[in-house]
Structure 1
C-alpha cells in the first residue's frame, strides 16, 4: 500500500473545453492491465466541454453546484450534488456548469486498449445547445 503523491491541478485545454475547467487526478493506472481513471473536475459558471464520447462509457458524480449534460438529440439533464450520471460507451455528450454556479464532479472511466483514444473529441457546443434552444 502507498499514499499517492500529490499531482498539481491542471487547467483543461481550450481545444476541448470552453471557459475555465480544472482537473485533479484521483486514480490513474500504475501497471499493465489497470484501466481505471478517476478525477475531480471543477467548472467555472457556464464552462463546458466540447462534444465527446468515451470508448467504455463514463460515470460522473456531481459533488457541488448544478451540472448540465447534453446529448445529440437536444436533451439536457440537470444533475445535482449526490446524483451520478452514466453515459454509455460511444454516446456523444457534453457536460457543463449551470449559468451562475460553479460545478464539480468526479469523473470515472476505464481506458481503452489505447489510452490516447479512450475519449473521442468533436466540435465545441454552441451557446444555443448549452441553453437548450
Structure 2
C-alpha cells in the first residue's frame, strides 16, 4: 500500500481527491540545507513504484529534494526547464520499499511564500 504522510501539519492541507497540496515556506519552518526553511512529506513506496513530484510557486524560486529511507539525498531539482524558476520536478523509480521524504524548499536563502506540490505514485495521487 502506498501512502503519503505529511511531516508538518501545515503541509497537510490537501483538497480531498486532489493530488495537489498547498504549502507555505516560512521563517518558522525547520531548517534544511544551508539554513533554508522547508516543508517535508513522507511517501511510503513499494519496490518498483514510480514517484513523480512537481512543485510550483509564483512567490519563491522552488527547489525539491528526495531523501531515501536511510536519509540520504537521492535526487534534487531546481527548475524543470532551464530558467523556469517557478517550477521544480523530480521523477524516481523506487528500488526498495520504504518511507521516502520529499523536501520542498527554495533555491535562495531567505525566500518565503506559498507553493503548490503534486505528488503522484504510479500516475495516481498519493493517498
Structure-1-length-normalised TM-score: 0.40
Structure with bigger gyration radius: 1
Question: Which one scores higher on RCO, CA 8 angstroms, separation ≥ 6?
Answer: 2
